[in-house]
Structures are given as C-alpha cells and as structure tokens.
Structure 1
Amino acid sequence: MSSSSSRRRDVTVADVAREARVSKAQAARALGAYGAVSEEVRSRVLAAAAALEYRPNELARSMNTGRSNTLGVVVGDIENPFFSLAMRGISDTAKTEGFDVILINTGEDVAAEAEAVRVLLDKRVDGMIVAPASHLSVGHLRDAVDSGRPLVLLDRQIPDLGVDAVMAKMDDISFTAVTHLIDSGHTRIGYVSSLDVGSWSSGQGMGLGLNPVSERLAGMRRAFHTAGMSAPNDLIRLSAGKPQPIREIVEELLLCPDPATAIIASDSLIALEVLHTIQQLEMRIPDDVSFMMYDDMPWALLMTPPITVVAQPVYEIGAAAAKTLLAHILGRPVMPETLVFHSELLLRGSIGSPKKVTEGA
C-alpha cells in the first residue's frame, strides 16, 4: 500500500490543525463550515487540509449533524435502460443539493430488496427511493418508514404504505397505442413483460397491483372493449424469462395456430430479445408482424424500419423522485403524494396492416 493512500486514510482534524498552526476547535469549525472563524484561519486550515489530502469522516459527521447527505436507491434491474436513465435523473438532482447516492440492484427479488433496505438503514442514509418488487411483501418498506427516514416509490405505487410515489401514467397511453394497432387491422396483439406475477398478483384474476404493467393491460383491455372485441388474453405473457426464455415465448406467439400479428414489448431489454427472435424466424417488420415497445432508446431510430415506441420522460421521473425525497429531508414543500408523468406515442415505421388483411384487400 502506498504512503499516499495511507496518509489519505489516516489524516485527522488534529493533523490538519497542527499543519495549519491553529487549535483543533478552530480547524474543526473551518472544515465543517460552522461557528465563528476568521478568513485568515479558514484559508490556512483549508490549505493544510489540501496539502495533507484530508478527507472528512462521513460517519462521524453524520453522528454530529444527524445527516449523512446520502440517498439510498433500490431498483430491480439496473441493466434495464429505464432504471439507468432514471438513476441519472436521481443522481444529477442529488448532486445539485450536495447529496451522494448509494445504488443497490435487487434483480426484482423481494428478499434481496429487503436486505438492501436493511443495509441502507444501517448506513444511515437520509432517505430512500425504491422501485418495489412486490406490493404483497412490504414489511421492509414499513420498517424504513418507521425508522423516520423519508421513502419515495419509483415507477410503482403501494397506496396502503402512505408514501409518495413518482411514476408515469400508463393506462391512457396504452389505450391510445393499442387503439392505433386495432385501427391498423390488428386483433391478435401480443404483450410480453418480465413482471413477476407471483410478486404482484393476489391470486385473484389479474390483480397485479398498481404498477406500469397493470395500467398498460387495463388500457389494452379498454381499447378492445371500446372496439367491441375481447382482449386476446392468450397472447399476454408475463413473467417472461422466469423461467421460460423470451425467445420461446415469442416463437409461441408467432407460430401458434392463431398467431399474433403485432407484439408489444414492455421494455427495451425485452424488445431486443423479441427483435432477435423475429430476425431468427426470418420474419419482416412490419410485413410479417408489427412491433411496438415501451421506452424510446436511441437505437430504435436506427432500426429498419424505425421502431414505434411509447416514450416515457424517464430522466424527469427520476429527477422528480429525488426532488420529492430531498423536499422531505430538507423540510421544503412536498409535491402531491402521487406525482404522475404523461407519455407519448411516437409513430414510426414498424406498424403495418396484418398480412391477411393486406392479401384480402
């Protein structure tokens, strides 16, 4: 280990005071930006701290101030670009207020989420933003609330918890998107999501709690009902990839006796798997199957044809979650308990009429 790294780790306020030739109390006030200290002393202390590469003891500071200036964030899958971009919004917003962020990924596993919350509580974060994996197992979230630390939910809502939630409103945009597919001649529309049904369903029908997928399905069913048709429930596939691979699901949707003529992917990760399978089946978009996905990724415009998407203001959702949490921490006015953002349907070239309609025209 280098002497430089050892010095950075071991330098104390007393060392800085000795280097600056001031008292320890004066050094502490200058470094902590509290109390009365002359500009001449402050300059000497800060110069000494820089020369010694002093780093404050964050744990000690949090014990003195009651605040760690740290936010904890728990998400299900940071590989999902939705959470990556939301995290950027959270981090950028936190940084402007002088807060750091600790991120923990759970793989949408409730036990891992509970452990993540425990770890963040132990690290004395000032508040948490959590995208809950379930609305049925929330004891750990109640523990967070009972600890006195503010909690904000991201992308999903649990009304009984009584905490703020920031999310996109999905039912109306889903109605618009599916209505567009129906107006284009599609009645066999598949929907593929990795939502873990077991974590969100109460076991009675499709009661999936308040999350984006349940809202999208509600909008989809409303679109079919408005068109005087029944929704193709046999083409709605949840828990994709757990354990059945997404590739197999897409093959079933496209090769069954009454196949899907259009597929909607619940996020961009699933979209890549769907597009890969369509390519392997030597099918063409939109000639053989129409395709739509949630979330607008840069690569969607580079496809041939460009992909029709439902674009969510993901960065803004993350930033708003951080602002809401910081408002609680800093004693500022708080936004409404549930803050919803609206999404937009961006029509491109991946939607066409079903093949049978075109040939029968």
Structure 2
Amino acid sequence: MSFAVRDPRTKKLTGKWGVDFWFKAPGEPDRRMRRLSFDSKSVADANETYARHTGRWADVDDDEAAGVTFEQAAADMRAQHTKWQRGRDPSGQKRLDWVISKLRGKPVKGVTTEDLQALIDDLKKRPVKSKRNVTGKMTGRTLNGYLTMASAVLTWSAARPKTYGTFVPPVVPWQDVVKTRIHFMTHEQQGLLIKFYQSKGWLDEVIVVRVLGASGMRWSEFEGLEPHMVQLTKTAKQQEIGWIKLDLTKTDTPRDIPIPPQLARDLRGLLQNGYSASYERSRKRYDKARKLYGWNPNLTMYGMRHAAGTYLTKNNMVGEKVQQFMGHKSYSTTQQYIHLENEDLVDAVDFLTPSHGGEEKMEPQTNVVAIGKAS
C-alpha cells in the first residue's frame, strides 16, 4: 500500500508518495522494492501493482538503479538480514554506521577502491587511546573491520542488479595484520581471579568466571542468558549434567554446552535473582585483579575462551568436538584458540640438547680416528 512521504528531519509531508515492500520470487533471494518519489497516490499504486507482479518498476532503467545510494543499500541489507540488525555485534554496527556517514550519498554502484582507501586514510588520522595499544594508531585488524562492513554492503548490492544496477565490487585495500601474542587465562590464573573476587565480596563475578571458564562462551552469548536456557539432565548412565542451551549465537548456529551440574544450579540461581550482565562492570573489576597480580595488559577476560579451546585439546578431545564445543563454523578458526604453554615445549630440550640429559636418547658414538695431515 502506498504512503505519503515525510521529510526524515522535519517530519513534514513532502508531497511525494512512496512504495516499500519485499519482492519474493521462487528460487531467488527476497529483495526490497522501495521508491519514495511518485508524484501522486494513483501513480504510486499503479507502480506497486506492476512491481509486485514483475519485480521491476514500470519505468526502471539502469540509470535509476545506478542512482541508489550506499546509505539506502546498507539500510536494505540491514532490514533483510537479522545478522546485520543493530542489536547484533554492536561494535561492528558502529563501524558500519561510520562507513555510511562517509559514503552516504554516493551511488553504491559508483564506490571505488579509491573511496575505500580514503576511508582508511581518514581512520589512520584518528588517535587511539588504549593502554593496550602503545602506538596510538589503529591496527590493521581494526581497519579491516571497517573495510569488512563496506565490503559487505557492496557485495550484497552487486548480487542484486535489478535493484542496484550491474557492477563489480571494487578491490578492497585490505590492510596488513601484524600477528601478536595471544594470551589465554590458565586454570591457575582463573583460580586467583576467583580468590580475589571472593575477597571483595563480588560473588556474582565468581560465578561469571566459573561459567566462562567452563563453557568457553563469548561474552555476547553470556549476557543473553536467561534462566530457562540453563537446564539439568541425566546421561544414559544416569549421571547428572548441566547444559547451557544457546539459540542465538554469533554464527547463527544453536549449540548446547555441557557444564558441571552444581555450576548450572549456581548460574540459574544467579539469573533468577535478577542478575544483569554488564561487560563494563566486569571488565573494571577484572582490571583491578589483573593489576594486583601483575598480569600482562594483553590478558583479557576473553582469554578464558582461548583457555577452553586450549585445555580441551591438551586433554586429547577430538578436533571436531572442540570445534562444536566452541561454536566455530570451521576448524581453522578453532585452531586459532589453541595455544601451547612453555611447559609443552620443555621436552624439546632433552631431544635437541645432548648435554641436558639427551645423551641416552642418542646412538652411541663410534671411536674417532685422527687422520694425519696429507703430505
């Protein structure tokens, strides 16, 4: 049904009429049909009828499709896919909002590599205030996060030529990523963290640490927990086991995470008593403990997720099971969460350094016969 168009800033009627609906074609992805420029209601209604039957506007041509802006394409993408809505991945959505602010009025079909490079040049000028970033500049990984948002809109639009015109997405100027040491939180460190929280009377944080350490959950998954998602069942051997039932995850794949039964009871009790997760609160409390124990500034609460993948692997859990437990789409991602401790490398000393006890592992040496100098 057509509607009168209002100015988004003043909310006053513009005198134009608009049509906005999703066209559903068999075997094709749904696409949004939206125009806000019809001169009368009758013209808008006629165009809507035509578009609902054909998937095209009566007067559409490549020039009009080419005029769809980057901002409108991004809005269409967000509206159609739940993973791009503002409630998901807040930091990613903030980056997308920033990219839109820079490319807002530019036709999505006309965005070039130079435009994307200009975004990067602008970002590089922004100072970064972080104790963990001594350079004061955005890292390549962060810059690529912005490029990922821009690339997603461009790729999505290029796959829908009837709406956005026929074009090939530009080459993305991906930035080099300097690999840094990733720190995972050992069981000993988790124990010290719990001890510190107990001394402060922060018993809710004690449960948070125990749950994150035992489940390897992402914080975004943890803060979305509700009491009904924590359950207790029995195995075929009548062993009681707790479960965290996740329906909404980063990869849009539901998964069940087993945890100790008593921990499940503690977690459910915490949630039933009105506990509301706050990353900012938990991070500030964690930072107090980190400074007290003198831990590396790069060791964050996320280190408990890395620890889960590491300890499962060290205890010989099969790779596919670790992948499923962590909720990764591919095992290559899981491998990034598996870290060796220095203790795991100690055996190398015996194998590679004979003077350190490795002599008995080596073959007995034969007698060396001195060879005289040739005359």
TM-score for the superposition, normalised by structure 1? 0.26
TM-score for the superposition, normalised by structure 2? 0.26
Q: RCO greater where, 1 or 2, for CA within 8 Å and sep 6 or more?
A: 1
Q: Which one has a larger percent strand, Structure 1 or Structure 2? A: 1
